[in-house]
Amino acid sequence: MNFILRLFSKLRFDTKTRFLFFGSLNFLFRQIVLGILLLVGPIFIATFVSEFLNVCIGYKIYSRYVFKSKSKFSKRYFGLFTLFSLIIWILNFSVIYLLNINFGINKNIVAILILPIWVTVSYFFQKRFIFSHKY
Q: What is the pLDDT of residues 19-43, one digit of tens each?
A: 888 888 887 888 898 889 989 988 8
Longest pairwise C-alpha distance within the chain? 48
Q: Is residue 8 part of a domain?
A: no
Q: Which residues span the domain enclosing 41?
A: 16-130
Q: Are 11 and 3 in contact (CB under 8 A)?
A: no
Q: Is residue 3 part of a domain?
A: no
**Could you tell me which residue, 38 or 135, shows the higher pLDDT?**
38
Q: Are 96 and 110 in contact (CB under 8 A)?
A: yes
Rounded CA-CA distance 97/123 in Å is 24
Q: Is residue 123 part of a domain?
A: yes
Rounded CA-CA distance 112/1 in Å is 24
Q: What is the pLDDT of residues 85-129, one digit of tens each?
A: 889 888 988 999 999 999 999 988 998 899 889 888 988 988 888
Q: Is residue 11 part of a domain?
A: no
Residue 77 has pLDDT above 90, yes or no: no
- Count of domains observed in the chain: 1
Q: Is residue 117 part of a domain?
A: yes
Q: Is residue 135 part of a domain?
A: no
Q: Can you give the pLDDT at residue 8? A: 57
Q: How far is CA 96 from CA 27, 36, 39, 83, 113, in A?
A: 17, 15, 14, 20, 10
Q: Can you give the pLDDT at residue 135? A: 44
Q: Is residue 120 part of a domain?
A: yes
Q: Is residue 9 part of a domain?
A: no
**Could you tell me which residue, 60 or 10, shows the higher pLDDT?**
60
